[in-house]
Amino acid sequence: MAATPKEYIAHHLTHWTYGYHPELGWKVARDAAEAQQMGFMAIHVDSMLWSLGLGFVFLLLFWAVARKATSGVPTKLQAFIEIIVDFVDNSVRESYNGPSKLIAPLSLTIFVWIFLMNLMDLVPIDWIPATAQQVGALMGYDPNYVYFKIVPTTDPNITLGMAIGVLLLIIGFGIKYKGVGGFIAEFTLHPFSAKNPVLQAILIPVNLVLEVVTLLAKPVSLGLRLFGNMYAGELIFILIALMPFWIQWALSVPWAIFHILVITLQAFVFMMLTIVYLSLISAESEH
CA terminus-to-terminus distance, the chain = 61
Amino acid at 226: L
Burial class of residue 99 (count of CB atoms within 10 Å of its CB; 0-12, 13-18, 19+): exposed
Q: Which of 47, 91, 207, 229 is catalytic?
A: 229
Is 118 an active-site residue? no
Q: Which of 90, 97, 193, 221 is catalytic?
A: 221
Is 225 an active-site residue? yes
Q: Please provide residue 69's backbone torsions phi and psi, each rounded to the nearest 5 degrees.
A: -65, 145
Coil, strand or helix: which one is 139? coil
Is 91 an active-site residue? no
* Order of strands, sheet of 17-21, starting from the edge strand that comes earlier in the sequence: 25-28, 17-21, 43-44
Residue 229 to residue 34: CA distance in whole angstroms: 27
Q: Which of 95, 100, 144, 225 is catalytic?
A: 225
Return the active site residues.
221, 225, 229
